[in-house]
Amino acid sequence: MSFHPPRRTLMGPGPSDVDPRISSALARPTIGHLDPAFIEFMDEIKVLLQYAFQTSNELTLPVSAPGSAGMEACFVNLLEAGDKVIVCQNGVFGGRMQENVVRCGAEAIMVQDEWGTAIDLDKVAAAIAEHPTAKVLAFVHAETSTGVESDAAALCQLAADAGMLSLVDTVTGLGGVEVAVDAWGADAVYSGTQKCLSCVPGLSPVTFSAKAAEVIQSRNTPVQSWFLDMNLVMGYWGGSTKRAYHHTAPVNTLYGLHEALTILHEEGLEASWARHRLNHEALKVGLESMGLELVVAERDRLPQLNLVSIPDGIDEAALRATLLNDYDLEIGAGLGVLAGKVWRIGLMGYSSRPTNVRLCLAALENSLIAQGLSLQGGKAVAAANAVYAA
């Protein structure tokens, strides 16, 4: 029997709501991955990705698999066995980076920060001083598990000053806050499609600096993944009009990404960031009106992903179930050490809209009242509305 999914409002850590323009792009006729019309289309995707990443990097393309594969593409292409990598961890995804490093036969030097805080630049500088031969400094710009933004520009600068490559996770960042690959001087950056780009999951945009590309081209050993080997992938995604078959591109999901990037380009990067900030502000005052607290310090907050403390006495899983069953609304649970302690409320891409903010606040307020919290109904949405009216 055909599957007909329920229609949800997606306000977790991703996937976020898919713009209807993108859904309908997915259903367009499939064409061959070597069709001349597809080759032109690929060139457009590259240009649109360069705009989103704010880069002129030639090696900019979507990896044909989800964000985790984008992460792996960055590590396996840059690393060879025996290399040293300084990995900053302030959430789940720094830990996943460590896993990737180890599986490349390389050594991970971990710099730990408390989950929910930004990466401490002094600690990183100390690690660099202690391990001057490290090849790569890897960190998460926008931590999906905590909603924290770290100072990517400063971290890339530390790496560059030490002659190291910088490797940056901005799966949750791209489109929601500034990602300035060239201005940062970042060497390898990956993202995802199902967060602030509002596209479906399944692709991972990546970009490599000229310096990183040179490292990849002059390796001593082959990249351990054939599928992710950029030396081969570039034969298909490269600038030449003659494209060599590598693997079959995920044609229709790429239609979706193209539409998503077109929408971002139409709106403009700055306008998109401003929209994410405004809806965050409205959500924030609404949450605060209910006495709920945001976990992350104001200066480190990602507007698109809000970590909220669970009030005493609230059954958090039951509340999420109520939101899902009664309101068709998904918010995220805590991950790793934050499981059971926080909710993650996403306002990413097409989900970053006043309608979603109001739905979430009203549903949360009602559900907290139903669990016994003494709140005045309607106050949260009114607080948010005041932000929009200002």
Which residue lies nearer to a second copy by CB, 156 or 257?
Answer: 257
Q: Name the minimum Å distance from CB 79 to a second copy.
A: 11
Mark 324-353 with x for binding to a second copy (rule: CB under 8 A) and - for no binding: x-----x----x------------------
Q: Name the minimum Å distance from CB 30 to a second copy.
A: 5
Check residue 246 for interaction with a second copy (CB under 8 A).
yes
Which residue lies nearer to a second copy by CB, 262 or 309?
Answer: 262
Which residue lies nearer to a second copy by CB, 12 or 116?
Answer: 12
Give the integer Cα–Cα distance in Å for 218 and 11.
Answer: 43
Give the integer Cα–Cα distance in Å for 320 and 325.
Answer: 9
Residues in 125-184 that interact with a second copy by CB under 8 A: none
Check residue 14 for interaction with a second copy (CB under 8 A).
yes
Count of other CB atoms within 10 angstroms of residue 35: 12
Piece in contact with a second copy (CB under 8 A), picked from 97-105, 177-185, 208-216, 270-278: 97-105
Q: What is the C-alpha radius of gyration for the chain, rounded to an integer number of angstroms? A: 21
Please write down the long-range contacts of 230-237, taking CB distance under 8 Å and 24 or more positions apart.
Answer: 230/59, 230/73, 230/77, 233/61, 233/63, 234/59, 237/42, 237/46, 237/61
Cβ atoms of 228 and 69 closer than 8 Å: yes
Give the integer Cα–Cα distance in Å for 326 and 367.
Answer: 10
Residue with tokens 């509305």: 385
Cβ atoms of 177 and 304 closer than 8 Å: yes
Which residue lies nearer to a second copy by CB, 87 or 128?
Answer: 87
Check residue 4 for interaction with a second copy (CB under 8 A).
yes
Check residue 117 for interaction with a second copy (CB under 8 A).
no
Q: Name the minimum Å distance from CB 269 to a second copy.
A: 18
Piece in contact with a second copy (CB under 8 A), picked from 13-21, 179-187, 276-284, 296-304: 13-21
Of 222, 217, 211, the closest CA to residue 234 belongs to 217
Which residue lies nearer to a second copy by CB, 39 or 369?
Answer: 39
Q: Measured at the alpha carbon of residue 169, what is the angle toward residues 293 and 225, in degrees to the nearest 5?
A: 140
Per CB under 8 A, the list member of 245, 271, 274, 370 interacting with a second copy is: 245
Per CB under 8 A, the list member of 80, 99, 182, 281 interacting with a second copy is: 99
- What are the beta bridge partners of residue 61? 206
Give the integer Cα–Cα distance in Å for 383 and 356.
Answer: 14
Per CB under 8 A, the list member of 41, 157, 285, 371 interacting with a second copy is: 41
Per CB under 8 A, the list member of 112, 225, 371, 385 interacting with a second copy is: 225
Check residue 30 for interaction with a second copy (CB under 8 A).
yes
Q: Name the minimum Å distance from CB 210 to a second copy.
A: 25
Write the CB contacts of 198 (distance below 8 Å, at least 6 apart in sequence).
Answer: 16, 17, 18, 19, 22, 175, 260, 263, 348, 349, 350, 351
Residue with tokens 């991955």: 33
Per CB under 8 A, the list member of 112, 157, 224, 385 interacting with a second copy is: 224
Write the CB contacts of 250 (distance below 8 Å, at least 6 apart in sequence).
Answer: 64, 202, 203
3-state secondary structure of 12: coil
Per CB under 8 A, the list member of 50, 78, 79, 96 interacting with a second copy is: 96
Which residue lies nearer to a second copy by CB, 242 or 299?
Answer: 242
Check residue 32 for interaction with a second copy (CB under 8 A).
yes
Give the integer Cα–Cα distance in Å for 39 and 277.
Answer: 36
Q: Name the minimum Å distance from CB 26 to a second copy.
A: 4
Check residue 112 for interaction with a second copy (CB under 8 A).
no
Write the CB contacts of 110 (distance below 8 Å, at least 6 apart in sequence).
Answer: 87, 89, 94, 98
Q: Name the minimum Å distance from CB 72 to a second copy.
A: 5
Which residue lies nearer to a second copy by CB, 55 or 193?
Answer: 193
Per CB under 8 A, the list member of 60, 72, 83, 167 interacting with a second copy is: 72
Per CB under 8 A, the list member of 59, 69, 74, 264 interacting with a second copy is: 69
Using CB under 8 A, count the residues that bind a second copy. Answer: 74
Q: Is the peptide bond before 15 cis (omega within 30 degrees of 0)?
A: yes
Residues in 194-223 that interact with a second copy by CB under 8 A: 194, 200-202, 222-223
